[in-house]
Amino acid sequence: MYKTIKTIIILVPTLLLILNSCGRIIKEHPDLKKRIIVLEKHIQEREGEVYDKD
C-alpha cells in the first residue's frame, strides 16, 4: 500500500510537468497545433473506416 502511494506521488507531478511542457510547445508553435489537429482528424477518419468495414 505504501509503495503504491509513493509511486503515485512521484508519477503525478512528472505527468503534469510533461503535459505542461507539451502545452507550452503547442502555444509557442501554432503550426504544430494545426498539425496535431490534422493528425487527430486523420486518426478519426481511419477509425471510422475501420468501423465501416465491420
8 Å CB contact between 4 and 11: no
Nearest in space to 40 (alpha carbons), one of 32, 29, 52? 32
DSSP code string of 17-31: HHHHHHHHHHHH-HH
Q: Can you give the residue ranges of every domain in the chain?
A: 2-53
Read off the pTM. 0.40
Contacts of residue 26, Cβ cutoff 8 Å, sequence gap at least 6: 32, 33, 36
Q: What is the pLDDT of residues 3-51, one digit of tens each?
A: 888 888 888 888 888 888 877 776 777 777 788 788 888 888 877 765 5
Nearest in space to 12 (alpha carbons), one of 4, 22, 1, 24? 4
Band of the pLDDT at 54, cuts 50, 70, 90? Answer: very low
